[in-house]
Every structure is written in structure tokens, then in C-alpha cells.
Chains A and B, each alone.
Chain A
Amino acid sequence: MREALDPWTFVMAAYAIGVGGTALMVGWSLITMKRAEKRRDEARKR
């Protein structure tokens, strides 16, 4: 017997995880870069 699965549930879950995971990674890389460069600039000023 063939299961009745809604394909759009799987497609939307894949897109949410893929796009969400990529967006988190981009945001994290930008925030850590800004923080590290700010810390370096502050260390130079001291």
C-alpha cells in the first residue's frame, strides 16, 4: 500500500532548514567579524 504523503510538507521543511541554517551562519560570521575587528581597534587605541 502506498503512503499518502504531502510532498510540499517535505519541500517547505527542507527550504526552511536550508535557508534558515544558511542565514544563521551568515549572520554569525558577520557578527563575530565585527566584534573581532572592534576588539582589535580598541586594543590599538589603548
Chain B
Amino acid sequence: MHGFANPARFLRIARWLMPLCMGAGIFIALAALGWGLLFAPAERLQGETVRIVYLHVPSAWLGMAGWSGIAIASFTQLVWRHPLAGIAARACAVPGAVFTAICLVTGSLWGRPAWGTWWVWDGRLTSMLVLLFLYFGWIALAQASEASDGADSKAPAIFGLVGAINIPIIHYSVIWWNSQHQPPSITTGGSAMSGAFLWPLLIAMLGFTLLFAGVVLARMRAILAQQQAEARLRRKALAQGN
């Protein structure tokens, strides 16, 4: 892993990997959404509204994956002082927050016809809303601490690790508490879904995950370029001052 600690080496890889992930992600995600919208069958009880699953589940997965990425990068930053770890954490934050927001909005749009309500304060929905607020707090803290302590500030890393406690709470909320939300349909032990729904869902998850990886790599390139430009301008200003 330390082999990739060199930003120059990372940039060499990211230059070809980012467009590849983004292009493949857009193609696969659109194909899966088209399949889900036009060719997948309606569900016996929920009817046509089940088609929202092809957006809702991938965005829920990526909302949680984004914070897991922040937590892993934060741990790496604190323990090994990996120079790219803080940048990776910052790069995960905005896409993670966007997918969490999409999950909440699409879930609400699914809830209205399926449950008869836009929102209920049950464990799953509330813990997902808490995740969105954690993202907002993390982004604000990362910006504030970068302005005062520089890019290697430890405060967002500690917040990233502490906030990770919410991830298992989201996952197990439908098991621990009596919830309006259904229990998990896909587990490591198998799937309760029919193949007609499962395949377009798995392909949508693959497509959106590649897209997420492409956005994270683009954000990392942007943050690195910003830091390099600022460092160069600072050096020049110092040299002119002397």
C-alpha cells in the first residue's frame, strides 16, 4: 500500500483509471436503469413502484460505502501517516453525501405509494438521515481544519472514525428494531429476491460503484492539483520576499 503513497505514482495510475471507471460506470449504470425501468417485471404487491429499487439500493450502498471509505482512510492517516489518506477521505465525502441524499429522496418517493407516507421516524430512515448530517458536519470540519491546521489535520480523521459507528447501526436497524422498512433482501447467505429483479439490481450496483470510484479519483486529482498549485505559489512568494 505504501507503494502508492507517492502522489506522482498515484497520478500516473489515476490518469487512465479515472476515465475508465467513469466511462464504464456511466454505461453500466444507464444500461441497468434502462433494464429496470423498461424490461424488468412489476412486482406482485408493489406494482410498478418496485422499479425505484434500482436507484435506491445502489445509492444506499454507496452512501454507507462512502463513510466506510472515510473511516478506512482516516485510520490509515492516523496510524501510517499515508500522505494520500487524508485526500482520499476528503474525496469520498461529497459523493457519499450525494448518494445518501439520493437514497433518502428516492426512499421517500417509494414510501408514499408503498406505505402511504413520505417519512416515518423508524431506525433505518433515521440512522440514514443521521448519516447525511454526519457528512455535512465532516465536510464543514474538513474545510475549517484545513484552513487552520493544513491538509494533515487530525480532527476530521478522528470524526471519521467515531462516525463509523453509525454504519453497523444503519445495517442492523431493521433487525434490532421493529421497522417499517423491510429486512435485508440480499445477504451473504443468499438473496430473497427473484432473479428478474436481482440481476438488474446487481448490475446497477456495479455501475454506480464504478461511477463512485471514478468521482473519488477525479476529486483526489483535483485536491492534489490544488495543493500542488498552492505550494508552488507559496514557494514563489517566499522566494520573491527574500
**Chain A: residues with CB nearer than 8 A to chain B?**
3, 5, 7-8, 10-11, 13-15, 17-19, 21-22, 25-26, 29-30, 32-33, 35-37, 39-40, 42-44, 46
Chain B residues closer than 8 Å to A25, beta-carbon distance: 94-95, 98, 215
Q: How far is the CA of A5 from the CA of B116 in the complex (A)?
A: 10
Give the contact-size bracket for chain B.
Answer: 35 or more
> Interface residues, chain B, CB within 8 Å of chain A?
22, 26, 29, 33, 37, 47-49, 51-52, 55-56, 59, 94-95, 98, 101-102, 105-106, 109-110, 112-113, 116, 208, 211, 214-215, 218-219, 221-223, 225-226, 228-229, 232-233, 236
Docked-complex contact B47 and A7, CB < 8 angstroms = yes
Task: Decide: A37 and B225 in contact? CB cutoff 8 A.
Answer: yes
**Total A-B pairs, Cβ < 8 A:** 101
Contact A40 B113 (CB under 8 A): no
Q: A7–B228 Cα gap in the complex (Å)? A: 51
Partner of B37, one of A10, A11, A35: A11
